Structure 1
Amino acid sequence: MKFTIVGAGSSYTPELLDEMIVRRESLPIDELVLYDIDSHRLEVMEGFCKRYSAKRDFPIKIRSTTDIDDALYGAAFVDTQIRVGGNKQRVKDEKIPLKYGLIGQETTGAGGMMKAFRTIPVMLDVARHMEKSSPDGWLINYTNPAGLVTEAVKRYTNANIAGFCSGGIFPKMWAKRSMGIDYNRVQYDYVGLNHLNFISHITIDGRPVTEKEFETLAETNDDVGADIQKLLGCLTSPYLQYYYKTGQRVEELKAKSQTRGEYVQDLEKIVFAGYADENNADIPKELYKRGGGGYSEVAMNFVNAVYNNVDTEMVVNVQNKGAVPFLPDDGVVEINCLVNKRGMAPIHKSYIPAPCWGLISEVKNYEMLAVEAAVEGNVTKMKQALLAHPLVREYSVVEKLVPDLLEGSKEFLPQFFK
């Protein structure tokens, strides 16, 4: 089986390889193709991955290429983890909104929109190459903002895509960390959008969690806080901190000496020095300060479910198709799905916590407008999307913010500067 990683210069690539090694008995992946536009990072990553697999006696052919058709041709699965403009652009996404008193963050609000604008055209190009080179293959997307990227690919191409975020297994992680409970003992209803999720009907071994167990889980998700989650009556994505603690988070971000992007830039220098060391065949410990843990496990759960036709319940970004009654059928949502060789079947949500309806609807409205703006290079729709977003909304701010955002990403936005 051929497995391709698009954006293989990412520091996360070895975690995918490690998960392949763990599952070597059930997933016969015999060729790993690394693709990236950065030839230096690609060379470093190819060398490290070969040393890593050799040390663990994993007989797999590993090669790199800068030819997208070569990378995709005949691939059964293609993992996408790209960052258009690198962390340099991420820092701009964080800093420009802060100038206007807004949340500066890479996946939500104004900053998240700019990441989507740079990323969607590139991902559509990858998807169209998939249509030609591997029409039966699956795109496993981890590129943020995952919901908007998945929606764009579904609306504008015929490529098979499954959009993922490790957030789908966070409640299992919290239960493991706080109560020592194995993942497979914990189930829940998960509904919303990427980085805007609400988790209810939580059970352990099939029984509802007790009030004390719920509080323990809520306390573990300390970015949002137990009091807010108890008030809502459900757990939430950590990213809800930006919606429920907006003013506090803006002030905290302004006060920091570095943005998260600047921190990651410094950290990646250390991580890549470790990857480049020809005497090293182990993942640098600094990688685990990078964030994003769990994504390789989720990706390979999907591969296993599809390749081996094993019915598996997973949280996936998919078209709604009536699963969330108050959202458009063609809009992408992040919800529980049944996954097997046929693909993903969304599980209809009979209950959605009442305090969550409005926020989900508002942000979905923003997302659909933002996708259209990204594809069309449409400034009017860009402004409409920002007006719809609850973290922006104010007209006078939007009028000043938009030119600043576009100028900051001009190099990567040819659709807006025709």
Structure 2
Amino acid sequence: MTMNRKKHTITIAGAGSARVPALVGNLIEMKERFPLTKIIFYDIDNERMGKMQAYDELVLKTYYPEAEVVFTTDMDVAYCHTDFVFCQMRVGKGEMRSYDEKMPLKYGLVGQETCGPGGFSYGMRSLGAMKEMVEKVRSYSKDTWILNYTNPAAIVALGLDRLFPDDKRILNLCDQPFSLMKSFAKILEVPQETLRARYFGLNHFGWFTDLFDTAGNNYFDQLRDYLKNHDFKPFNAEQRSKSWLDTYVRVNKYMQYFDEYIPTTYLQYYFFPDEIVQESNPHYTRVDEARDSREKEVFEVCGQAVGRDTMDGITMLTNGVFGKLMVEVAESIAYDLHNEFIVLVKNNGIIPNFEKDAIVEVAGTIGKNGAEGYYFGNIDMFYKGLMENQYAYESLTVDAFIEQDYKKALEALTLNRTVIDPEKAKAILDDFQSVSKDYWVLK
């Protein structure tokens, strides 16, 4: 049965990302559910976007000929007339990510792009670019939906809420809970589409507290027992690099100490930082892994499309998590479906004994008015303490960016559980400042 749904124009901001060809595949797979008249690919790096342009154009010409396709490096062309912005910028590209991951390791600190000092540095860069983007989009339309997947989502979401407090059409999202649900479904041998979760926390800093299906079957105790007694592997383990697999295995380690809830994989950086630093290679981090594996594979597939008129022998790339979530969220907004996701929303009493202005991550629904989180209730002191510390770090980071305040940046890094030592916090802050002048400055 063909759906007769209103068609939309979307802009993919950060179209030089190696994730974009797979997102295009998801748009094609779901074109009945979320039909498009126009797709605008936008990036400030035309060379990098150009590595994938032949592929993107060929796959769309083959499977989505009814959609107009535009590639541009001009912000005005990208944002002047669009219904949805799918935003996934990597401000500073791989070069700055490399600093984020490698510089902290010099001081025995976690080198990760969204957690710890690297997350601070990345957040400071992302906030500037996101502010500029929102201002440009809003100069044309107050109605355009901005679906933000730019990391670190916790800092970006909090910053955008402070910079644009009345803007109700910015939705910040993360695919990690969605990815974990896919892995849970594989372990339990049930369809992911039927699974529902209850969850609380901050982005990359949260816990699953329940898991059940639409038929009323509860799987939480079964899954919790499994993860306490088995190594956790992602649903696509065979495609993951060793460092990613280690991330999942430490869920099992965490649960040897605290087995009440199931943690997100990112909590490992806050609970076992010394162990992670010892295992890290300061000369070869995730950015290098990504370049030598996923990015290399994507660019190779895309290169096959150059000069070709057909997709014969060329794989159509798709993504079971990132792209799928992006399109499903846009669909749920566009047609007011109120489908259930794990969402980032302002607390406002969802967790009554936690900061009301914090951006919390909880189960909820998404419809034409954006995300609505389900009421969760009070949280126990242990989790409250962890979250208050993390929120204070995130809040001070946003203040440091907005006010260009060195003291607040130093306070933020000292509060971060992966740092704690003010001497190290100052050393890494000064290092980051020395390479980040094009993106942020502190006084």
TM-score, structure 2 normalization: 0.87
1:63 is aligned to 2:65: no
1:54 is aligned to 2:61: yes
**Per residue, is there more helix in 1 or in 2?**
1
CA distance in 1, matches of 2:30, 2:161: 29
1:165 is matched with which residue?
A: 174
Deviation at 1:262, TM superposition (A): 1.6
> Among 314, 323, 337, which residue is 1:296 paired with?
323
1:241 is matched with which residue?
A: 268
Q: Which moved more, 1:396-405 or 1:297-306?
A: 396-405
Per the alignment, do residues 22 and 177 of structure 1 end up closer, same or farther by CA in structure 2, a change over 3 Å counting? same
Deviation at 1:71, TM superposition (A): 0.8
Identity over aligned residues, as a percent? Answer: 27
> Among 158, 170, 192, which residue is 2:201 paired with?
192
CA distance in 1, matches of 2:420, 2:428: 11
CA deviations on 1:24-54 (whole Å, 9 max, x unpaired) are 1122211000111011223333321111123
Kept in 2, the 8 Å contact 1:316–1:335? The answer is yes
CA deviations on 1:253-281 (whole Å, 9 max, x unpaired) are 14x76111122233324532432331484
Kept in 1, the 8 Å contact 2:353–2:379? The answer is no
CA distance in 2, matches of 1:217, 1:188: 16
1:368 is aligned to 2:395: yes
What is the total number of aligned residue pairs between the two structures? 412
1:177 is matched with which residue?
A: 186
1:261 is aligned to 2:300: no
1:216 is matched with which residue?
A: 226
Q: How large is the RMSD of aligned CA atoms in angstroms?
A: 2.4
Q: Which amino acid aligns with 2:218?
A: P
1:262-341 correspondence runs (5 A): 262-267=288-293, 268-277=295-304, 278=306, 279=308, 281=311, 294-341=321-368
CA distance in 2, matches of 1:84, 1:281: 32
1:21 is aligned to 2:31: no
Deviation at 1:400, TM superposition (A): 2.2
Q: Which moved more, 1:221-230 or 1:274-283?
A: 274-283
1:156 is aligned to 2:166: no
Structure 1: segments with no counterpart, 5+ residues: none
CA distance in 2, matches of 1:67, 1:80: 15
CA distance in 2, matches of 1:209, 1:351: 23
1:129 is matched with which residue?
A: 136
Kept in 2, the 8 Å contact 1:312–1:339? The answer is yes
CA deviations on 1:61-100 (whole Å, 9 max, x unpaired) are 1111111122112211101111111111111111111111
CA distance in 1, matches of 2:114, 2:436: 15
> Among 77, 84, 91, which residue is 1:84 paired with?
91
- Report the 3-state secondary structure (helix = DSSP H, G, I; strand = E; otherwise coil) of the residue aligned with 1:188: strand
CA distance in 1, matches of 2:20, 2:351: 34
2:117 is matched with which residue?
A: 110
Q: Which moved more, 1:368-377 or 1:272-281?
A: 272-281
Deviation at 1:193, TM superposition (A): 1.1
CA distance in 1, matches of 2:93, 2:435: 13
CA distance in 2, matches of 1:282, 1:334: 43
- Report the 3-state secondary structure (helix = DSSP H, G, I; strand = E; otherwise coil) of the residue aligned with 2:184: helix
Q: Which amino acid aligns with 1:265?
A: R
Structure 2: segments with no counterpart, 5+ residues: 1-7, 234-247
Kept in 1, the 8 Å contact 2:343–2:365? The answer is no
Q: Which amino acid aligns with 2:225?
A: E
2:18 is matched with which residue?
A: 11
- Report the 3-state secondary structure (helix = DSSP H, G, I; strand = E; otherwise coil) of the residue aligned with 2:70: strand
Per the alignment, do residues 50 and 181 of structure 1 end up closer, same or farther by CA in structure 2, a change over 3 Å counting? same
CA distance in 2, matches of 1:213, 1:293: 21
1:33 is matched with which residue?
A: 40
Q: Which amino acid aligns with 2:48?
A: R
